[in-house]
């Protein structure tokens, strides 16, 4: 079966704004409405899902370029990418099984050319304007009077139902 392209929706903000907090509420909200979501989280830190001392860790460290750990409950594929530079979001999205997902939420990757919801909190005192570009479809904020284009929806960052319903409508618009 051919993999169809899965719609990607970015959740972008400055560190400490609450991206992960919102996603931890949004993903179950979408799941309860029958929407199967994947997630790609960008980090600037070194990532290792394997544990030193485990066979899979030792075999990967022995030089395997890709290592898969599998059980009846889950599997993970680790791919070594030293020296390959910045990862391609498009490439990472193709690693997902599109037959089992309706959409992929993307945390980070703020400069990618995908639709995005920008998160903003007054207390961070960071510039909202620097996150706004033509790919922003909504701003979720605790200030419902943020000055943005009329083409951009303003959502209450503290109301997961409001953000969730916006995402559902956005997803429907991607399927047309």
Structure tokens at 144: 């419902």
Structure tokens at 146: 């943020």
Indicate if the pLDDT at residue 1 is higher than 50.
Answer: no
DSSP state of 63: T
**How far is the CA of 133 from the CAs of 66, 152, 169, in angstroms?**
37, 10, 21
> CATH number of the domain at 8-51+86-174, please?
3.40.50.300
Indicate if the pLDDT at residue 78 is higher than 80.
Answer: no
Answering whether pTM is above 0.75, one says yes
Following DSSP, what letter does each residue of 10-50 receive, concatenated?
A: EEE--TTS-HHHHHHHHHHHHHHTT--EEEEE--SS----S
Tens-place pLDDT, residues 160-173: 999 999 999 999 99
């Amino acid at each position: 079966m051919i993999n169809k392209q899965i719609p990607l929706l970015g959740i972008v903000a400055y560190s400490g704004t609450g991206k992960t907090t919102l996603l931890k509420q949004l993903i179950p909200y979408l799941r309860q409405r029958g929407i199967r979501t994947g997630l790609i989280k960008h980090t600037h830190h070194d990532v290792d899902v394997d544990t030193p001392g485990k066979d899979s860790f030792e075999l990967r460290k022995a030089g395997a370029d890709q290592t898969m750990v599998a059980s009846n409950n889950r599997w993970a594929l680790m791919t070594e990418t030293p020296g390959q530079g910045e990862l391609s979001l498009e490439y990472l999205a193709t690693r997902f099984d599109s037959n089992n997902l309706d959409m992929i939420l993307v945390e980070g990757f703020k400069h990618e050319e995908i639709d995005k919801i920008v998160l903003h909190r007054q207390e961070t005192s960071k510039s909202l304007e620097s996150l706004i570009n033509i790919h922003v479809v909504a701003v979720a904020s605790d200030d419902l009077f943020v000055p943005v284009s009329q083409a951009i929806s303003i959502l209450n960052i503290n109301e997961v139902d409001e953000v969730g319903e916006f995402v559902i409508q956005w997803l429907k618009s991607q399927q047309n």
